[in-house]
Amino acid sequence: MTTTTIQIEKHTKEVLNELKESFESKTYDEVIMQLVRKKTKSMYGTLGKGKKVSFKQMMEGLRDKHDRF
């Protein structure tokens, strides 16, 4: 299997750790693939499970339209 490295925010890594545990996955790749394949209409409640996250914190990772690739 060929692998690659990606950069993510610390909070995103924490969320992936929580999902990895709840999905009982062995790798982050398995977590990401489960999320991609999951046929849900909403991911409501996934971020910040059990944690208080302010609106400002949630919005920090978003980019303006001119910053998008």
Mean pLDDT computed over 9-30: 92
Considering the chain, what is the average pLDDT of its residues? 79
Whole-angstrom CA distances from 63 to 42, 60, 67 are 21, 8, 6
pLDDT in tens, 34-61: 888 876 556 666 665 666 767 777 777 6
For residue 35, the model assigns a pLDDT of 87
Single pTM value for the model: 0.52
- Structure confidence at residue 24 as a pLDDT band (50, 70, 90): very high
- Structure confidence at residue 28 as a pLDDT band (50, 70, 90): very high
Distance of alpha carbon 13 from alpha carbon 64, whole angstroms:
23
